[in-house]
Amino acid sequence: KKGTTIHDMLFPYSWPPWLMRKIINNASYVKNTLTGLVVHKIENRTIHVTHHNQSTTSPSSSSSVDLPIRVYTPSGTGPFPLVIFYHGGGWTICSIESHDSVCRHLCNLVNCVVISVEYRLAPEFKYPIPVEDAYAAAIYITQHAVDFNVNTSYVCLAGDSAGGNLSAVTAQLSRDRGGPSFCGQLLIYPSCDLTQTYYPSYDGKCLNLDEADSVWFLNSYIPNVEDRSNPKASPILHHDLSRLPPALILTGEHDRIRDSGEAYGTKLTEAGIPTTIKRYDNVGHGFLLVAPGVEAKSAMEFMCNWLKEAFAAN
């Protein structure tokens, strides 16, 4: 892909994904070091998680892996409420470093522990590995609540874009596989339908994510088209959306995947799940990070207030 905009010149299929990740991470590290919001304590840790293959009960059906996490802890004694955060980036780029500023704000404004999970990325680790990493991390974190000074009665999932997808899928897997339980799911411009079913927002003005971008991400993450209809890939296609945590879904007016996220919110509402859908005007995909301004600040305040209410309601 060639072009003259920053988006065209820097987008990952201009360069190998590993190089794009390195550039984003290094730039994010410098920005976070120089301008990052002060948080009482930030720790980088590694957790050892186990995947369990749900299709077989043989001993060989389990596998283990070490995953990096970043733990943000506010001042105070705790135990604190907890947000488990999955970063966006098309399951292919970005990291806990690129989304550090979002997690710092959540920690300080909500007064909760935030644990950002570094799940493995495509194309090296294709679907369903990022899904199983996300779910296994949630299990580990809630089972080791004392180590993180958190109260497992107050746990919310959160993520943006691909991370919103993983949050929605993790909520469904947790219900279907018997835990853990959550009191909310914060889905920030989530990717909820990977089948490329037509939505009107595909034809509108698209900022920061166009059709070619979406195709590249999907082909990198989940090249088998048939897999895209699995609810573990497209949470909107799950046959049962009952008994899921309350949801907040944030979208941007000029986001190509806006309508699929809002459609998921509508389906959750129809299934009896308390759901809030909030659309921000004049912004595109990824606006919390790539377009920090009035809308981004408003969205941050709105979702932090929603998290506080979700914890209080539980």
Q: What would the pLDDT profile of 8-64 be if each residue is shown by its tens digit?
A: 555 556 678 888 888 888 888 888 887 778 999 999 999 999 997 654 344 445 789
Of all residues in the chain, what percent carry a pLDDT higher than 90?
A: 75
Write down the pLDDT at residue 181: 97
- Written as six digits, the tokens of 208 are 């920061």
Amino acid letter, 192: C
Neighbours of 228 (CB within 10 A): 19
Nearest in space to 241 (alpha carbons), one of 169, 294, 293: 169
β-strands 41-52, 247-254: how paired?
Answer: unpaired
| Active site (catalytic) residues | 161, 255, 285
Q: Encode pLDDT of 180-232 as tens digits.
A: 999 999 999 999 999 978 888 888 788 888 888 899 999 999 999 999 999 99
Amino acid letter, 228: R
β-strands 150-160, 247-254: how paired?
Answer: unpaired
Cα gap 247→276, rounded to integer Å: 6
Picking from 108-122, 151-165, 187-201, 297-311, which range would have the lowest pLDDT averaged per residue? 187-201
Cα gap 219→131, rounded to integer Å: 16
Residue 67 banded pLDDT, cuts 50, 70, 90: very high
β-strands 275-284, 184-188: how paired?
Answer: unpaired
Write down the pLDDT at residue 10: 53
User: Which residues are CB-neighbours of 50 under 8 A, at least 6 positions away?
Assistant: 62, 63, 64, 136
Q: Encode pLDDT of 248-258 as tens digits.
A: 999 999 999 99
The neighbouring-strand residues paired with 65 are: 49
As a whole number of Å, the end-to-end CA separation of the chain is 48
Q: 38: which DSSP letter?
A: P
Q: Encode pLDDT of 84-105 as tens digits.
A: 999 999 999 999 999 999 999 9
Write down the pLDDT at residue 84: 99
**CA 176 to each of CA 127, 238, 244: distance values in angstroms, whole numbers, following the listed order:** 19, 11, 10
